[in-house]
Amino acid sequence: MSARAAEGAPPNPVTPRGEIVPTVPPAEKAADAVNVTALLERGRTLATPVLRAAVERLAPPMDTVAAYHFGWIDAAGNQAAGDGGKAVRPALAVMSAEAAGADPEVGVPGAVAVELVHNFSLLHDDLMDGDEQRRHRDTVWKVHGPAQAILVGDALFALANEVLLELGTVEAGRATRRLTTASRALIDGQAQDISYEHRERVTVDECLEMEGNKTGALLACACSIGAVLGGADDRTADALERYGYHLGLAFQAVDDLLGIWGDPESTGKQTWSDLRQRKKSLPVVAALAAGGPASEKLGAILAADAKTADLRPADFEDFSEEEFASRAALIEEAGGRTWTADEARRQHAIAVRALDEVRMPTRVREQFVALADFVVVRTR
Binding positions for a copy of itself, rule: CB under 8 A: 58-62, 120, 124, 127-128, 146-147, 150-151, 153-155, 157-159, 161-162, 165-166, 168, 170, 172-173, 176-177, 180-181, 183-184, 187-188, 190-192, 194-195
In the complex with a copy of itself, the residue whose CB is nearer, 106 or 123, is 123
As measured in angstroms, the least distance from the Cβ of 176 to a copy of itself is 6
- What is the DSSP track for 3-52? HHHHH-PPPPP--TTS-SS----GGGGGGGGS-HHHHHHHHHHHHHHHHH
In the complex with a copy of itself, the residue whose CB is nearer, 14 or 147, is 147
Q: From 4, 13, 1, select the one nearest 339 (Cα to Cα).
A: 4
As measured in angstroms, the least distance from the Cβ of 152 to a copy of itself is 9
What number of other Cβ atoms are within 10 A of residue 229's Cβ?
A: 27
In the complex with a copy of itself, the residue whose CB is nearer, 28 or 154, is 154
In the complex with a copy of itself, the residue whose CB is nearer, 184 or 359, is 184
Calculate ∠ Cα 16-125-352, nearest 5°.
60
For residue 279, the Cα-to-chain-centroid distance in whole angstroms is 15
Q: d(Cα 200, Cα 280) in Å, to the nearest integer?
A: 9
In the complex with a copy of itself, the residue whose CB is nearer, 184 or 235, is 184
Q: Rounded to the nearest 10 degrees, what angle do helices 362-377 and 336-354 cross at? A: 170
Q: Which residues neighbour 81 within 8 Å (Cβ) at sequence distance 6 or greater?
A: 71
DSSP summary character for residue 84: -
Q: From 245, 191, 254, select the one nearest 218 (Cα to Cα).
A: 245
In the complex with a copy of itself, the residue whose CB is nearer, 107 or 153, is 153
As measured in angstroms, the least distance from the Cβ of 96 to a copy of itself is 19
As measured in angstroms, the least distance from the Cβ of 112 to a copy of itself is 14
Alpha helices in the chain (DSSP H): 3-7, 36-56, 62-69, 88-99, 108-129, 140-144, 146-165, 170-197, 204-211, 217-229, 234-261, 264-267, 273-276, 282-290, 293-308, 321-333, 336-354, 362-377
As measured in angstroms, the least distance from the Cβ of 99 to a copy of itself is 23
**Residues 253 and 259 sit within 8 Å (Cβ to Cβ):** no
As measured in angstroms, the least distance from the Cβ of 256 to a copy of itself is 21
Gyration radius of the chain over CA positions: 20
As measured in angstroms, the least distance from the Cβ of 128 to a copy of itself is 4
In the complex with a copy of itself, the residue whose CB is nearer, 17 or 184, is 184
As measured in angstroms, the least distance from the Cβ of 244 to a copy of itself is 19
In the complex with a copy of itself, the residue whose CB is nearer, 65 or 371, is 65
Q: Which amino acid is at 155?
A: A
